[in-house]
Amino acid sequence: MSTYLIGDIHGCYKELRILLKEVNFDLKKDTLWLTGDLVARGPNSLDVLRYIKSIDRCVRLVLGNHDLNLLSIHAGINKDKPKDQLKNLLKAKDIDELIEWLRYKPLIQIDEQKKIIMSHAGISPQWDLKTAKKCAYEIEQILSSDMYPLFLNSMYGNMPNNWHEKLSGLARMRFIANVLTRMRYCFNNGQLEMFSKNIMEINNMSLQPWFNIKNKITNDYTIVFGHWSALKGKSTPKKIIGLDTGCCWGGMLTLLHWEEKKYFRINKLIS
């Protein structure tokens, strides 16, 4: 019984199947954790969703910003962009079924025995574990309800960027979604900085990658995330693991065998 964690797939179906074959992934015994962004930018988003749905009983995944964007496009809120390569998925005969399946997926996965926490972008330094679980659950509840289009229509935006428990309504939902699916940099007090994306030399010492700010969780857990492909899986402190190595951008798809702490990687295949 092995636990495998894979970074952002982004429609790279062939690479995914090759990696799973390399580690002899066993559907009956093993568990597959996925950091989100199953779709978009890569060539085979439809195949990825169909496959992951077919093995759902042994998969623990979290939604990423591109997965939420797919829900938004399907709901008629956002527009499909050619660069996302979602045309075949959106026209698929089973698209409604796939969307319904995706809507019920969480934004955080936690294994209390293995002491793993996974979200797509990370965990806010302003949150303790109880707050993180509560906030993620709030998004899960609204996504699985008839009110989900209202949330999707309001999730785009960078404000508010500072957490306090009195945040309410759609502003609260937007902040939570930004933390769990879009966050990269924070100010030293944990306040979100939503404009910087690439790795940069930080001249202003008040701005740091979220994982470099002291948090209330990694004393007891390891945080696994994706989203930030520019990191190439490097430059994170102990007990913080970034698994997005940019396969859809010409990089690699990365798998971590948790029990052996061994990495497997495959370069993007030429389509």
pLDDT tens-digit profile of 124-182?
A: 999 999 999 999 999 999 999 999 999 999 999 999 999 999 999 999 999 999 999 99
Instruction: Write the CB contacts of 93 (distance below 8 Å, at least 6 apart in sequence).
Output: none
Give the residue from 33, 221, 31, 220 showing the smallest Cα distance to 117: 221
Does the pLDDT of residue 114 top 90, yes or no?
yes
Does the pLDDT of residue 39 top 90, yes or no?
yes
Q: Are 85 and 57 in contact (CB under 8 A)?
A: no
Does the pLDDT of residue 269 top 60, yes or no?
yes
pLDDT band for 32, please (50, 70, 90 cuts).
very high
Give me the pLDDT at residue 199, please. 66
Give me the pLDDT at residue 200, please. 61
Does the pLDDT of residue 77 top 80, yes or no?
yes
pLDDT tens-digit profile of 217-256?
A: 988 999 999 999 999 999 899 999 999 999 999 999 999 9
For 210, which DSSP code? Answer: G
Burial zone of 253 (CB within 10 Å; 0-12 exposed, 13-18 middle, 19+ buried): buried
Give me the pLDDT at residue 86, please. 97
Does the pLDDT of residue 18 top 60, yes or no?
yes
Give me the pLDDT at residue 206, please. 78
Give me the residue spans of the domains in the chain: 3-267
Q: Averaged over 89-93, what is the pLDDT?
A: 98
3-state secondary structure of 235: coil
> Which residue blocks in the chain are alpha helix, DSSP H?
13-22, 45-54, 65-74, 87-90, 95-103, 129-143, 148-154, 169-181
Task: Please give the residue that has the higher pLDDT: either 177 or 198.
Answer: 177
Q: Are 227 and 121 in contact (CB under 8 A)?
A: yes
At residue 44, what is the residue type? Answer: N
Superfamily of domain 3-267: Metallo-dependent phosphatases (3.60.21.10)
pLDDT band for 202, please (50, 70, 90 cuts).
low
pLDDT band for 207, please (50, 70, 90 cuts).
confident
Q: How far apart are CA 239 and CA 222, in angstroms?
A: 4
Does the pLDDT of residue 123 top 80, yes or no?
yes
pLDDT tens-digit profile of 232-241?
A: 999 899 999 9
Give me the pLDDT at residue 72, please. 97
Give me the pLDDT at residue 93, please. 98
Q: Averaged over 171-196, what is the pLDDT?
A: 95
3-state secondary structure of 102: helix
At residue 230, what is the residue type? Answer: A
The whole-chain average pLDDT of the chain stands at: 94
Instruction: Work out the percent of the chain whose per-residue pLDDT is above 90.
Output: 91
pLDDT band for 196, please (50, 70, 90 cuts).
confident
Contacts 24+ apart (CB under 8 A), 203-210: 209/184, 209/185, 209/235, 210/121, 210/122, 210/123, 210/124, 210/125, 210/183, 210/184, 210/185, 210/186
